[in-house]
């Protein structure tokens, strides 16, 4: 590298780099490599990779079954907004697709009959929460994260 001596007016000199631009260049290259690796891993591997797009979505089923119960009053979570159905006969179920870590909520109260009910949240085919109660006006509530 050629060095240029300062001018008489004290103008700028062309001096060798002291590593600042090289360090910035390495950091930028490293950040680009990491970002590229993540994008390829998430986008390219699909359902075979735990961080792929399919890991972000879950199939959720809310389910209420019962014995000797005619009707129940229901409250359940739909896309982070509670929604109440007036009442329903049994068996009852609803399915939805949710993102990971969304709150799930299902509550059922026996309004007709003195039997028992079971309330379940099923994620991707596996029961993740279940509770049973019996007797008129009994309430069963389950909560979970998707």
Query: Structural domain boundaries of the chain?
Result: 57-145
More confident residue, 34 or 105: 105
Tell me, yes or no, if the pTM score tops 0.85: no
pLDDT one-digit tens code per residue, 46-75: 444 445 555 689 999 999 999 999 999 999
Q: Domain 57-145, CATH 2.60.40.2880 — does that match?
A: yes
Q: Is the pLDDT of residue 122 over 50?
A: yes
DSSP category for residue 79: T
Q: Are strands 126-134 and 57-78 parallel, antiparallel or unpaired?
A: unpaired
Dump the DSSP string for 12-74: -------SHHHHHHHHHHHHHHHHHHHHHHHHHSGGGSTTSGGGGEEEEEEEEEEEEEEEEEE
């Amino acid at each position: 590298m050629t060095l240029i001596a300062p001018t008489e007016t004290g103008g700028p000199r062309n001096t060798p780099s002291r590593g600042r631009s090289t360090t910035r260049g390495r950091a930028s290259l490293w950040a680009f490599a990491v970002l590229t690796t993540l994008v390829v891993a998430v986008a390219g591997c699909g359902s075979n990779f735990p961080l792929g797009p399919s890991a972000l979505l879950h199939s959720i089923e809310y389910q209420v079954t019962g014995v000797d119960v005619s009707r129940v009053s229901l409250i359940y979570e739909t896309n982070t907004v509670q929604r109440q159905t007036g009442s329903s006969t049994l068996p009852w179920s609803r399915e939805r697709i949710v993102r990971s870590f969304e709150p799930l909520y299902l509550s059922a109260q026996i309004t007709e009959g003195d039997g028992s009910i079971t309330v379940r949240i099923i994620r991707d085919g596996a029961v993740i929460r279940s509770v049973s109660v019996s007797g008129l006006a009994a309430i069963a509530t389950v909560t979970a994260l998707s």
